Structure 1
Amino acid sequence: MRHLFLALLLATSLTTGCGGARETPVNGSGIPETLRVGLIPNISPEQQRAKYEPFAAYLERRLGVAVELFVASDYAGVVAALAGGRIDLAYLGGLSYVQAEQQVQLTPLVTEIDHATDSPQYVSAVVIRTDSPYQDLKRDIVAAGRTFAFGDVSSTSGSLYPRIMLTEAGATCSPRRVDECPPLAKVTFTGGHDATAQAVLSGQADAGGIELRILRRLEKEGKVPAGRLRVLEERRVQGYPWVMRAALGERTRAVLTEAFTSIEDPALLDLMRAKRYVSVTAADYDEVRRTAADLGLLTVKQ
């Protein structure tokens, strides 16, 4: 009996340990009793976790469950946590969403209506120093063989869409080697939008890809001197989706979607960069899937 007890104890620890997937108890509404929420680090992980604590508190009040926030050191870490069943709900960029769905069945729930565009889209921009002489992406950056900074390799507005703009301007970005984009002399990955802004400001890169609303927030917070970076080219991007593991079921999808679309607190909405939330479907990210496949970014880069 003692050996049987030890065997059962070991089996339980293997299936419920924090390093892997586990059975998730749910409450009467179908929501996990502890809802594990993952966030991509589009700014430093510590800042991202602190920023979303009020949202976690809102979900706890609204849903009557405990909420745990998880921020990985990079985008791929959040995708891996979804695939491993270690988180239930996640805030992803469009690119990290289509990468994640290669590994785990996901249901997209909502995205935010952006303040600047008044739509479910936001802006990806190629930026340069304001005091630089560059005026044209094709002539002054690509053809001239300048240096370029991307954010995280799995960032939609810091990697995928800047790569689209560079390709349209004549660069031959390799679908096999993400760090090769001739005739650019060198491309680097900074890991985040804030780091990309600093790389361009300091002259480590001649130009960089960044989410424009993050740049504007960095300027507002005094982390980037206002007016020191100038937009050279931009594209609109389908908004960040909140997604859940499809295994949680339709009832959970409905409850979580309502929790987002019911947010009315202006302070909370502002903190989350949203005027309000609207539902999205997998089809809303078809352009991201297609271009990510064409440019070799559909697979998560480790």
Structure 2
Amino acid sequence: MIVTAVLLGSGCAAGADRTVGADGVPATLRIGLIPNISPDVQRAKYQPFAEHLQQRLGVRVELFVAADYAGVVAALVGKRIDVAYLGGLTYVQAERQVALTPLVTELDKETGTAQYLSAIVVRADSPHRDLRRDIVTAGKSFAFGDVSSTSGSLYPRLMLVEAGARCSPRRVSDCPPLRQVTFTGGHDATAQAVLSGRVDAGGLELRILHRLERDGTVAAGALRVIEQRSVQGYPWVMRTDLGTGAQRTLTDAFTAITDPNLLDLMRAKRYVAAAASDYDEIRRKATELGLAEPASR
């Protein structure tokens, strides 16, 4: 079994076969993953998925995990990867630079739909109950994850703006009357920042928090949700130049997954086809909040 896992930035595996089959799928299929948790954990988590694709498609599979979300976008633009797992915001940012075709998204195990939840959390023992009164108006400190994260940046920013924050569409760290805004780089790091008291509140993906609780990384009930919003599920996308044959083959490979252990690892009940129009709200909100292009801090 040949499944290669390397960090993006070290380049493609030496001698990777770029032969393309009749269906348009490369003989060496290179898959990029956004690091919504630490890169090493993310890479290890998706090894069973890489093995599934290899067995079903009869191709070599390489997994690439970048140091940050922008690294996956750069790899797509540079044609160093063929398929990528992106958050909705990262997809919207990436499609401005390279032609992409959504393949599938997961039906979320927690919501039972193609949407999941973005949440703003505080320590359970804090007095903060109301986002507007206790966080925004009171000028507290706040942590986002990666600046290009949908549920760790875009939707928490949307909730803050709805609660009265005047977040700048040009400088993402300016969000008065919040006294301080930081970017932790990931949902797990945001949870720890709130838990440790380094910030008063933070935005993250709720199902990742639940997994951290199951893993014992965060004590169950140590963080409390004070606001949440539904978000369209992460799209798996491919470079459009792979063609419609590859689109059909790859979509079928996802929707054929029935192994409950593999689906559990990938946080999915099952996979369903995705369309570009599914992400229209994210495009609109990202444009309004200045996040459609990677922003300066």
Query: TM-score scaled by structure 1?
Result: 0.92
SS state at 1:276 partner: strand
Identity among equivalent positions (%) equals 70
Considering only CA atoms, is the larger Rg found in Structure 1 or Structure 2? 1
Matched, 1:148 2:148: no
Q: What's the CA shift string for 1:119-176, capped at 9, x where partnerless? A: 0000000000000001100000000000000000000000000000000000000000
Instruction: Check the 8 A contact 1:76/1:301 in 2, yes or no.
Output: no
Q: What's the CA shift string for 1:34-72, capped at 9, x where partnerless? A: 000000000000000000000000000000000000000
Instruction: Check the 8 A contact 2:193/2:199 in 1, yes or no.
Output: yes
Q: How large is the Cα RMSD of the aligned pairs?
A: 1.3
Q: What's the CA shift string for 1:207-240, capped at 9, x where partnerless? A: 0001000000000000001110000000000000
* Uncovered stretches (5+) of structure 1, i.e. residues with no partner: 1-16
Instruction: Check the 8 A contact 2:107/2:268 in 1, yes or no.
Output: yes
AA aligned opposite 2:222: R
What is the CA–CA distance in structure 1 between the aligned matches of 2:238 and 2:144, rounded to whole Å?
A: 27
What is the CA–CA distance in structure 1 between the aligned matches of 2:66 and 2:232, rounded to whole Å?
A: 23
Show the 5 A alignment for 1:165-244: 165-244=159-238
What is the CA–CA distance in structure 1 between the aligned matches of 2:281 and 2:222, rounded to whole Å?
A: 32
What is the CA–CA distance in structure 2 between the aligned matches of 1:278 and 1:246, rounded to whole Å?
A: 19
- Higher strand fraction (1 or 2): 2
Matched, 1:29 2:23: yes
How far does residue 110 in structure 1 lie from its aligned partner after superposition? 0.3
Show the 5 A alignment for 1:61-72: 61-72=55-66
What is the CA–CA distance in structure 1 between the aligned matches of 2:52 and 2:271, rounded to whole Å?
A: 15
Number of aligned residues: 284
Tell me which of 67, 85, 88 is aligned to 2:82.
Answer: 88
What is the CA–CA distance in structure 2 between the aligned matches of 1:18 and 1:31, rounded to whole Å?
A: 17
SS state at 1:216 partner: helix
Tell me which of 258, 266, 289 is aligned to 1:264.
Answer: 258
- Runs of 4+ aligned structure 1 residues displaced above 4 Å come to none
Instruction: Check the 8 A contact 1:171/1:182 in 2, yes or no.
Output: yes
* Uncovered stretches (5+) of structure 2, i.e. residues with no partner: 1-10
Query: TM-score scaled by structure 2?
Result: 0.94
What is the CA–CA distance in structure 2 between the aligned matches of 1:77 and 1:206, rounded to whole Å?
A: 29
Instruction: Check the 8 A contact 1:112/1:276 in 2, yes or no.
Output: yes
What is the CA–CA distance in structure 1 between the aligned matches of 2:71 and 2:195, rounded to whole Å?
A: 28
Matched, 1:76 2:70: yes
Q: What's the CA shift string for 1:166-203, capped at 9, x where partnerless? A: 00000000000000000000000000000000000000
Q: What's the CA shift string for 1:231-276, capped at 9, x where partnerless? A: 0000000000000000000000000000000000000000000000
Instruction: Check the 8 A contact 1:35/1:66 in 2, yes or no.
Output: yes
